[in-house]
Amino acid sequence: MPILYSQLSSGNCYKPRLLMAKLGLPFEHVAVSSVDGSTRKPEFTAKNPNGKVPLLELDDGRFLAESNAILLHLAEGTRFIPDDSYARALMYQWLFFEQYTHEPNIAVRRALLVYPERAKDATPERLAATLEGGNKALLVMEQQLQKTPYFAGDAISIADIALYAYTHEANQGGYDLSAYPSVAKWLSRVAGDDGHVPITWLPETSGS
């Protein structure tokens, strides 16, 4: 059975947990966390030299890091990757947007405000910059979702799972989603898709 090393409160780690739940893929969950420092311990950096979760260990012992790469691997051949090459490229477009424009603002601002050990980094300048950057990302999402129900078009894809992870908790980072009605409707649409589970969900085969 594959093993997912992940931190329960992390949106990046929620992405593969949500996809595996939706696909009914059994996996063992092993809790590793930046909060208790276990992501920096040699036992873990031997598995992922970048010292970050999520990390997937395949049945044959190979490892795969980076949440969106894990989504791409797990979703291969499923309804979460479009057949049409343009729609597939759009899915990639939004996956890269999530990592370069969305997550560094929306996830980081939430972390600065939610994790006590990050409070020292929550300078007024950083909070202002991530607020502005996050709102810019939400506006880009709002404009797309006024045109299509999902990011790659008419059907849900892993781009929606990736963007859902931190958008659904954006309020914890101080973002006001009432200013983005199409984003709010899309959040409900994604949460209504078959097999949805909340960020707190863990499989029964949970190591911790």
Residue of 17, 22, 29, 52 interacting with ligand GSH (CB under 6 A): 52
Number of H helices, E strands in the chain: 8, 4
Q: Is 102 in the site for ligand GSH (CB under 6 A)?
A: no
Residue of 28, 66, 142, 193 interacting with ligand GSH (CB under 6 A): 66
Q: Which of residues 68-87 bind ligand GSH (CB under 6 A)?
A: 68
Q: Is 6 in the site for ligand GSH (CB under 6 A)?
A: no
**CA angle 4–37–202, rounded 5-degree value:** 30
For the beta sheet containing 28-31, the strands, ordered from the edge strand earlier in sequence to the opposite edge, are 28-31, 3-6, 55-57, 63-65
- 131 by Cβ neighbours in 10 Å (0-12 / 13-18 / 19+) ranks as middle
Which region among 60-68, 82-90, 136-144, 197-205 touches ligand GSH (by CB under 6 A)?
60-68
Q: Are 95 and 163 in contact (CB under 8 A)?
A: no
**Residue 23: which of 82, 75, 68, 101 has the closest Cα?**
75
Count of residues engaged in binding ligand GSH, rule: CB under 6 A: 14
Q: Which of residues 150-179 bind ligand GSH (CB under 6 A)?
A: none
Which region among 33-41, 87-95, 167-175, 188-196 touches ligand GSH (by CB under 6 A)?
33-41
Residue of 4, 10, 20, 90 interacting with ligand GSH (CB under 6 A): 10
Which region among 4-12, 150-158, 177-185, 199-207 touches ligand GSH (by CB under 6 A)?
4-12
Shortest approach of ligand GSH to residue 37 CB, angstroms?
7
Separation between Cα atoms, residue 109 and residue 197, nearest integer Å: 24
Q: Which of residues 121-140 bind ligand GSH (CB under 6 A)?
A: none
- Token readout for 4 is 């997912």
Provide the pairing of β-strand 28-31 with 3-6: parallel
Residues that bind ligand GSH (CB under 6 A): 7, 10, 12, 34, 39-40, 51-54, 66-68, 99
